[in-house]
Chain A
Amino acid sequence: MNEGGGRGDGGARDDFFSEAQELVDGLGRDLLMLDEMLKKGHVEPEIINDVFRGVHTLKGLSGLFGATRMAGLSHQLEDLLDELRLGRIDVDAGVLDLLFRAVSLYARILSSEKGEAEDPVHDVEQLLLALGHVSNRREGEGVGAVAQYELDPGLLGVLTEYEEHRLRANIQQGFALYRIRALFSLATIDTALDTVKANARPHGEIITYLPTGSGGDADSIELEILMASKASLGVLSKAIQTTGVSVEEVQRRALSHSIHATGLPNPPADAGAATPSISLHPAHPREAPPLRGGRSSAPAPLSDTPSLVASNVPSPATGAKTSARPGSGEMSLRSVSQTVRVDIRKLDRLMTIVGELAIVKTAIAKLTDRARSRFVETREFATELGRLNRSFERHLAQMQNGILEVRMVPLGQAFDKLARIVRQISREHSKEVNLVVTGAETEIDKLIVEELSDPLMHMIRNAIDHGIEARDDRLRVGKPVVGTIALNAFQKGNHVVIEVEDDGSGMDPKALTAAAIRRGVVTSDEAKELSQREVFALVFMPGFTTKEVATDLSGRGVGLDIVRTNIAKLGGVVDIMSDVGIGTKMTITLPITLAIINVLLVEIGGNPFAIPLASIEEAIVLDEGALRTIELREVLSVRGVSLPVCRLDRLFGFASADQRRGRSFVVIAQVGDRRMGLIVDELVGQQDIVIKPLGRTLSRVRGFAGATELGDQRVALVLDAAALIEEVLVPGETRFFGTADAGRS
């Protein structure tokens, strides 16, 4: 279905995807805010306008790129949102569900456009059908309420349908109407009007403003501002104390008179929607009274109709956000934000260049040393060169940090999507769940955020699905009816920690072990040796995801092996702790960035390897005498604490493995709270490196996070400490994964 003009031009299509994705994300955030407001019982009209604008922009964008399914869905949504905006339909949980469904469908359509997923034809059609039903469900509202006020029929005649709706809504809430007359000089009207608006805004909503056609001369103009407010006349006049401004309250008139005045009998209820616009638009040519089905295409909401003026007055709650976003009315023409959108690959390229420069820098330093030590006559020259090189080094480091900073984004980007998932899943399971997020501002590399969304979604799905108990069960054990899932993020040294904690039923270690033995994941002898941590880690085993286990253990572990694999790919680890009846906590520990890392260079079997310093605790000389073998596993006593060790030359199958003499070193690696000693032949030194991923051909080889170029054209493999620790320390089949082809030398 991507028959559009974008085909064949990756750049333009990429722009489309990133722009559309941003819009869809924005919609999701707005809907969540709407959901909040709905729960509190007060919906800001501006938020619905935001959603409307987002959908409208998306429609235009998808039309441009021939994404017809997306454009069609947007069109129908726009109709519904227009009805909501004009108050013809009330916002309720059902309608909101449809909107949320639309947002998740947008995401699926986008990935099908990219060719990553199937086209969700069926789901789109179903949603369209449901949208059609709602759009037909109109309700009559406070007909005639407006007519009770002493408002100038001329003014009422030029109100747009939206303004009219706001007027009615405010009257229904019992707010008083005020008429503000203000004389503005033409030279300063922009700023002066803004001042009046800003002063008035805290007290209520400005419905509309119009020139009065009197009181002005060639250099000035008088405006009449219609405003609804719960403040008294005194308070309001005081707030808008500017010269040339008068405030008066619009009085009610007698009811019988009002009906007589509009010349219409009280309308029957079923004609309610159409009637007010007839009675209030006696001869208004601009807008034909829309009937069932809403707008066709013409009345563009973003054009300069007076409705914009009203919608452009941000309410205090949404103001800041609205003005920073594109598509918010007039502001979108001028660029409000100072940001530039950059493809992450461009940053990767810059980062690579910085890395190459670092290599050059190392080479120059070596040359300088040579010039200094060998020849007396070049010593002065070498000193000069050395000074220049240090300055180069300093600036390079600044540039490196600058690029790294640009790559960092708040984790909130991933968390926003999760809040949507929580809402959706908890409604599916009819469980009430409250998501409590802390540390959304914690920053992490953009690439990591992208890769985190799915694992986090799996974890949260599990927590709701199987952790949080059904309502009755919670009541029985005296827990609050509403379950809580806490999503906490914080930085810890060079790592970012993310915790997903639920207050659900927890997991029983005995039941877990029993199931693991039954599934053949461990033998009963092995099971006896497992520590509690290892027992919980069993849920990450691939074999642990079947139905049979699911019924016994309330299904914990669905898809969790995927979580562990994905986190491991990012150089992180997942840990899990649980208390029966109290809840479960899963902890992800991740490196902050993937791009540049500080490593310890070592040599194993004559080959250079790099170990990220972030995962190193210390490096010591190996004392062979302190080695013990416990259950076929070598353990070293370090200052009275046992440390499992791994001989990397043996693990990697290097030929020289068993004939080496001389001293070796132990690099003590720590990831999360697991520790292991890696035995290496030589310690070479520290270096900053640009880590590059191994190619696809090598993606199944375990134990390496990537590779890096050293100054001398050689390539060193970067050890993935987390994967090695996992491989060596965690029991089960993972130990042999990827080693089937080993032994080549």
Chain B
Amino acid sequence: MAVLAKVRAAKRAAMRAGEAGTRTEYIAFGLAGETYAVPIGQLAEILRPPPITEVPRAPRAVIGVVSVRGRLVTVVDLRVRIRLPPASMDRRSRILLVDNGVEHVGFLVDDVQQVWRLAPEEIEASNVLGGDQAAHVAGIGRPAGFEGNVLILLDLRPLAESA
């Protein structure tokens, strides 16, 4: 029965996935002079901004829609989304594509900088910043040996759910 074969294949795949390193790769990007970072696994792709079609009467944070190889993607200004002052696009602007399970959502950032591999002990919980942090702030990254580099770790998935 075809159904059973599929079940078995899924179980095998789950077993194979067991081994992975303890360090997590984060991709760092700039927003209004600060450095932010997201787990690289949350991103589907990084794009140079194509021409963006404005959607009248859309929520404020939405810049518009673009087509990425036939797939329609809503582009959100990440600055506006997390309540930073908006800025205009330039040559270094990039769009981070996130798959929220239903569709891809694009987040416009100022620039994309580098990849950091962070061990769990290099990550501080978000509550060091004080009481109520928004759900999208996952913690603070302090890569060992690079004192002075502070990464604000974001979880883009809740941000990709709505604007």
Contacts and interface: CB of A to CB of B under 8 A. Distances in A.
Given A652-B56, A709-B70, A697 B62 contact: yes
Given A352-B70, A697-B74, A717 B6 contact: no
A702 interface: yes
B162 A607 contact: no
A356 B10 CA distance: 32
A713 B51 CA distance: 8
Interface string A730-745: 0000000011011010
B54 interface: yes
Interface residues of A, number: 42
A693 B54 CA distance: 15
13 contacts: A8-B10, A11-B10, A12-B7, A12-B10, A355-B70, A694-B65, A695-B74, A697-B105, A698-B58, A698-B62, A715-B65, A738-B57, A741-B57
Contact of A707 (B51, B57, B65): B65
Given A701-B58, A741-B60, A356 B67 contact: no
Contacts of B76: 697
B59 to A, nearest CB: 5
B10 A698 contact: no
A715 B74 contact: no
A678 to B, nearest CB: 13
Given A697-B162, A714-B51, A741-B57, A12 B3 contact: yes
- Shortest 6 CB-CB distances between A and B: which pairs? A9-B10, A652-B56, A695-B74, A12-B6, A715-B53, A709-B67
B73 interface: yes
Contact of B53 (A352, A607, A703, A741): A607
B81 to A, nearest CB: 10
A707 B64 CA distance: 11
B3 A16 contact: yes
Contacts of A11: 6, 10
Interface in B129-163: 161-163
Given A713-B51, A715-B67, A654 B10 contact: no
B9 interface: yes
B58 A741 contact: yes
Interface in B1-40: 2-4, 6-7, 9-11, 14
B128 interface: no
B47 interface: no
B50 interface: yes
B18 to A, nearest CB: 14
Interface in A688-724: 692-698, 701-704, 706-707, 709, 713-717
A713 B50 contact: yes
B55 A694 contact: yes
A701 B60 CA distance: 12
B59 A741 contact: yes
B116 to A, nearest CB: 29
B43 interface: no
Given A694-B72, A695-B73, A697-B76, A744 B58 contact: yes
A204 interface: no
B24 to A, nearest CB: 23
B59 A697 contact: yes
Given A652-B56, A697-B59, A707-B72, 8 more contacts: A6-B7, A8-B14, A607-B53, A608-B53, A692-B72, A706-B72, A741-B57, A744-B60
A696 B103 contact: yes
Contact of B57 (A9, A12, A702): A702
A654 to B, nearest CB: 7
Contacts of A701: 55-59
A425 to B, nearest CB: 34
Contacts of B56: 651-654, 701, 703, 717, 742
B52 to A, nearest CB: 8
B9 A9 contact: yes
Interface in B60-103: 60, 62, 64-67, 70-74, 76, 100, 102-103
